[in-house]
Amino acid sequence: MRKIINKPENFVDEMVEGILLAHPDQLKTPGDDRRILVRADAPVAGKVGIVTGGGSGHLPLFKGYVGKGLASGVAIGNVFSSPSAQQCFEATKAVDGGRGVLYLYGNYGGDVFNFDLAADLAELEDIETRTVLGRDDVASQPKDRKHDRRGVAGIFFAYKAAGAAAERGDSLEQVAAVAEDVVEHTATMGIGLAPTILPTTGEPSFVLPEGEMEVGIGIHGEPGFHRGPLETADEITERIVAALVADLELTDGDRVAVLVNGLGATPLEELYVMYRRVHQVLQDLGVTIERRYIGEYATSLEMAGASISLLALDDDRLALLDAPAASPFFQEV
């Protein structure tokens, strides 16, 4: 294992400390537990708060989307591990501006369990909560079981839309409805080429023979649905886009936002090679790309691979994507 770390057990806390030292004008911790980060101006009176959370190792996912026009706070777990219920609850209290709090996070069992417990604790404090789960990974379950799908990079779109709705003053029910609408119209699929090495164990997150790829892999190394010889960039992209188009039932005249996401060790140049083919395929289908995002939006430490997300757009979703937002890891002006 070759990583730029100190003691593995201190990795997450030292990373969070670095983020706080680097961005004191945008983020703060509301108490002594540095596993909870909130906007520097939290709580914002009269606005719905948004709390997310999950395991570390996915930056900028989760903690990187805390900021104006995005999430209000985050509960931070160990690498690939859920934050505690108490941490989720403390984040909830820290961002409550009097109009309730939306829980918006990926559909993983430990996270669901602990956020549900946090919601019970919040109820005792008269804080109203709602929950929307990111569940955009089309490879993890068939469409007739889409509510059981994993949440991966496409949750970025939900953060952006829900954050914009909260910023403009929408009610808790309205913000939750916006997030749910975006989740319902988002589809993602990823491909893995090489695993990450977990800092606490020194073990790979999955094993893949030399020269092979795993299509449909999850952001923790969960198995995909196809393993075989590495294909060309165009073949990989065509395979993924075909699945996303079918899942969203896109047709001539539809509009989308595209996210081509690196999983941690894939050069930006390769992501643009993939985007080139995404653009060509969708153009041939008569689908208009209104907005495009290329880079690292949800990683898995140093996993080699990429994912593609599509969000089917209407005028309302596009306006929410275009609303101003700012965090240390993302900005829309």
Q: Please name which of 294, 160, 164, 159 lies closest in space to residue 237, comparing C-alpha atoms.
A: 294
Strands, E assignment, the chain: 27-28, 36-39, 49-56, 73-79, 101-106, 129-134, 186-194, 212-215, 226-229, 255-262, 288-295, 304-312, 325-327, 330-332
Residue with the two structure tokens 């690292």: 296
pLDDT tens track for 173-225: 999 999 999 999 999 999 999 999 999 899 999 999 999 999 999 999 999 99
Residue 226: active-site member:
no
Cα–Cα dist 215/197, whole Å: 19
Residue 164 has pLDDT above 80, yes or no: yes
pTM over 0.75: yes
Position 202 scores a pLDDT of 92
129 pLDDT above the threshold of 90: yes
Return left, alpha or beta for 286; rule: phi > 0 is left, psi -120 to 50 is alpha, else beta.
left
Identify the active-site residue in 147, 220, 226, 279. Answer: 220
Q: Which two tokens stand for residue 75?
A: 């509960």
What span, in angstroms and rounded, lies between the C-alpha atoms of 154 and 19?
A: 24
pLDDT tens string 18-46: 999 999 999 999 999 999 999 999 999 99
Q: Which of 23, 58, 226, 279 is catalytic?
A: 58
What pLDDT was estimated at residue 261?
98
Report pLDDT for 146. Answer: 96
Tokens, residue 276: 């080139």
Active site residue 147: no
Whether the pLDDT of residue 333 is over 80: the answer is no
Q: Enter the tokens of residue 80.
A: 């690939």
